[in-house]
Amino acid sequence: MLKKNVIYSLLLMTIVTLIGAVGFMLTERLHFYDALWLTVVSLLTIGYGDISPETPGGKIITFIIIPIGIGLATYILAVIAAFVIEGKIFNKVGKRKMEKKLSKLTDHIIICGYGRVGIQVAKQLEHVGIDFVLIEMDDKIEQELDHGRLFIKGDSREDQTLLDAGIQHAKGLIATLPNDADNVFITLTAKGLNPNVQVICRTNKQESEAKLYRAGADKVVNTASIGGQKLALSLLKPISIEYIETIFHDHENEYNVEEILLGSSSLFLNHSIAELNVRGTYGITIVAVKRERDFFGNPKSDFRFKSRDLLIVLGTSEELEKFKKIIN
């Protein structure tokens, strides 16, 4: 709104200046440049005295444009001053609020880079209700973000930027930058500041995966490889892919996948899936179980649970929440 007011005021000042210049040309018989000069010094009430209106018509024009010029000039300066002051105050207050929120964050996720991949990561985390902080160097990104999202403008490769994002208290970090070398550097920096933080990295080259793992990445995702596999499967098994897409990407869909770790005091320990009647009692489906380094896909009914088993289960959000509370 302030920007529009300044533009309109400057446009009006230009129109008044041109009208005044033409008026002085006709009444004072001046060349355009001299008439324009007389109009400007009259509008701004500078009054050098080198040129002054001599005719009654010229004096009348001066009487008219001087009050208009004073009013417009004062208004423009006031609007610009308000724009600058309000902007500084808003930025300062906004920065303090952001710092206050960041200081209270724990077990959050840090997203490095807000490009095409970063946007999708943020949407997914927002959908499941996970706190996250965005780090991006581009000034334009801040203007495009939804109000309330935690954002830090800076270089994810620098220690201070990650510290500002709360790396010491973060649960995980996702490096989504398109340059693999940058993601390697981010991984090294993050692990140096917090060895326990889980780092997930994006890569576009298969040869970079080993380097990222050596740098300390816990998981490397080759977006090009996944994209190629999905394209092929979409042709070969379209219905299956459509169903998986519905589960993972349809935010209106009530079904979800959850990972649940069995504690040492869980009531499920040493009991089989059949004995517990998991599907009939809780309404959820156990897709797989990870035990140390072994995976048991589609476990049989006589499969018995042990402490530290990681269950991968499918069900509605409500069923999963209830199951998580009961299981441990």
Each residue's pLDDT tens digit, 212-265:
999 999 999 998 888 788 788 888 888 887 777 776 666 565 677 888 899 888
Indicate whether 210 pLDDT > 70.
yes
Which tens digits make up the pLDDT trace of 132-158? Answer: 999 998 866 766 665 567 888 889 999
Helix H, strand E, coil C: the string for 93-148 is HHHHHHHHHHHHCCCCEEEECCCHHHHHHHHHHHHHCCCEEEEECCHHHHHHCCCC
User: Which amino acid would we find at residue 172?
Assistant: G
DSSP code of residue 168 = G
Q: With contact defined as beta carbons under 8 Å apart, do 161 and 135 qualify?
A: yes
Decide if domain 254-327 falls under CATH 3.20.20.70: no
pLDDT of residue 228: 83
Mean pLDDT of the chain: 84
Q: Is residue 98 classed exposed, middle or buried when 0-12, 13-18 and 19+ CB atoms within 10 A define those classes?
A: middle
pLDDT of residue 318: 84
Q: Cα–Cα distance between 220 and 202 in angstroms, integer?
A: 6
Confidence of residue 53 (pLDDT cuts 50, 70, 90): confident
CA dihedral 201, 251, 236, 202 (to 10 degrees): -10
pLDDT of residue 174: 96
The arrangement of secondary structure in 2-99, i.e. its CATH architecture, is Orthogonal Bundle (1.10)
Which tens digits make up the pLDDT trace of 68-99? Answer: 878 877 887 777 776 666 555 455 555 666 66
DSSP code of residue 299 = -
Smallest Cα–Cα separation from 248: which of 123, 155, 142, 66? 123
Domains of the chain, by residue range, sit at 2-99, 105-227, 254-327
pLDDT of residue 17: 86
- Provide the edge-to-edge strand list for the sheet that holds 219-222: 150-153, 132-136, 109-112, 172-175, 198-203, 219-222
Report percent pLDDT > 70 for the chain: 87
Q: What is the mean pLDDT of residues 28-42?
A: 85
Q: Cα–Cα distance between 83 and 182 in angstroms, integer?
A: 38
CA dihedral 233, 236, 240, 243 (to 10 degrees): 70
Indicate whether 66 pLDDT > 90.
no
Q: What is the mean pLDDT of residues 287-297?
A: 90
* Other Cβ atoms within 10 Å of 156 Cβ, number: 25
Q: With contact defined as beta carbons under 8 Å apart, do 83 and 3 qualify?
A: yes
Q: What is the mean pLDDT of residues 183-188?
A: 95
Which region among 70-84, 130-144, 268-282, 304-318 has the lowest average model confidence (pLDDT)? 70-84
pLDDT of residue 108: 93
What is the pTM for the complete model shown?
Answer: 0.59
Report percent pLDDT > 90 for the chain: 30
Q: What is the mean pLDDT of residues 109-127?
A: 90
Q: What is the mean pLDDT of residues 49-76?
A: 81
Q: What is the mean pLDDT of residues 41-45?
A: 78
* Other Cβ atoms within 10 Å of 319 Cβ, number: 19
The arrangement of secondary structure in 105-227, i.e. its CATH architecture, is 3-Layer(aba) Sandwich (3.40)
Rg (Cα) of the chain, in Å, rounded? 33
Q: With contact defined as beta carbons under 8 Å apart, do 170 and 197 qualify?
A: yes
Indicate whether 327 pLDDT > 90.
no
Biggest CA–CA distance in the chain, Å, is 110
Q: Cα–Cα distance between 82 and 291 in angstroms, integer?
A: 63
Indicate whether 278 pLDDT > 60.
yes
